[in-house]
């Protein structure tokens, strides 16, 4: 068997709302051999369902695979995972992080992994839980282009578009642009629909109409009708977008610019989090646009 035909031995760490469906897709394509999750029962169930191994520790996973995929929530979580896998990291191993973290954190992790003979790609994703389930994520990559080409067959099972933006950290910079834009879209859509509802319009046909015109967008199409019904099932938790926008503000400060709309959105999310809505979808911003919902 040639190296091109050799089976992929990959391990996945972090089986949350995004990570679990991503890992399931890889398992279905016979690319995944090991998983690990902080809540072990989730990894055990996935392993049983897919006929793969639930590692006892991240180090055990690292010792048995050539590609390690990480999808967790925060910089500190990624650093904890990296600390755990480094002692067992085999030379030539590629570590791919799908988490949204700081640009400087991604650059630091890349240096640490290369010192152990491996390589690192920061590839934050966009597309939400739906995109993770259907393999239609959009991926923004930072790291070595040759390494990215090496793992491309694995990534093709997860997304429809992947763009390489440069060295470690540049994938995260691209994701920051995405998150700032998402904040603006959220503000515009929720504000506009609150206006329509207040004006007494029939909202379902209005949303259908707008979705097909110049104002149409993914967020309106996927979240418009649920938000006007007061339903906010998490596709992307507002607490996570709050975290991401904090990272965006840090980057903007380092670049000596301001991002006032994103900053306002982060503050609005904080108001909702303080009221107990941290685990709702970002479309819960609609709560603040309705006069009866405002505190």
Active-site residues: which are they?
A: 175
Q: C-alpha distances in angstroms, 142 versus 27, 182, 244?
A: 25, 21, 17
Q: Give the Cβ contact number of residue 271 at 10 Å.
A: 14
Place of tokens 């003979």: 117
* DSSP per position, 40-86: HHHHHHHHHHHT-EE-SSHHHHHHH-SEEEE--SSHHHHHHHHHHHG
Place of tokens 């992947």: 162
Q: C-alpha distances in angstroms, 138 versus 79, 124, 219, 245?
A: 24, 9, 15, 19
Phi-psi region of 256 (alpha: psi -120 to 50; beta: other; left: phi over 0): left
Determine the Cα angle at 238 with ends 232 and 249, to 5°: 155
Q: Are 242 and 266 in contact (CB under 8 A)?
A: yes
Please, what's the b/e burial string for 151-171 (b: 16 or more CB within 10 A of its CB; e: otherwise)?
beebbebbbeebebbeebbbb
């Amino acid at each position: 068997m040639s190296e091109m035909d050799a089976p992929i031995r990959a391990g996945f760490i972090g089986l949350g709302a995004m990570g679990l469906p991503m890992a399931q897709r890889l398992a279905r394509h016979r690319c995944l051999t090991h998983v690990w999750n902080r809540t072990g029962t989730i990894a055990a169930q996935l392993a049983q369902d897919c006929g793969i191994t639930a590692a006892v520790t991240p180090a055990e996973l690292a010792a048995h695979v050539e590609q390690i995929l990480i999808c967790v929530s925060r910089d500190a979580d990624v650093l904890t995972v990296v600390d755990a896998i480094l002692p067992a990291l085999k030379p030539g191993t590629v570590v791919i992080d799908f988490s949204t973290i700081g640009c400087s954190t991604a650059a630091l992790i890349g240096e640490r992994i290369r010192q152990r003979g491996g390589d690192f790609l920061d590839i934050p994703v966009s597309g939400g839980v739906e995109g993770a389930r259907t393999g239609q994520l959009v991926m923004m990559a930072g790291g070595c282009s040759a390494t990215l080409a090496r793992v491309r067959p694995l990534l093709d099972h997860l997304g429809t578009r992947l763009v390489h933006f440069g060295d470690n950290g540049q994938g995260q910079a691209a994701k920051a642009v995405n998150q700032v834009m998402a904040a603006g879209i959220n503000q515009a859509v929720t504000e506009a629909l609150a206006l329509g509802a207040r004006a007494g319009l029939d909202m379902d046909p209005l949303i259908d109409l707008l979705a097909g015109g110049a104002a149409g967008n993914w967020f309106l199409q996927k979240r418009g009708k649920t938000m006007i019904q007061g339903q906010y099932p998490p596709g992307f938790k507002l607490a996570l977008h709050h975290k991401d926008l904090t990272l965006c503000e840090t980057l903007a400060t380092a670049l000596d610019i301001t991002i006032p709309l994103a900053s306002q959105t982060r503050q609005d999310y904080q108001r909702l989090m303080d009221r107990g809505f941290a685990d709702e979808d970002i479309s819960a911003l609609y709560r603040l646009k309705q006069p009866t919902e405002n505190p």
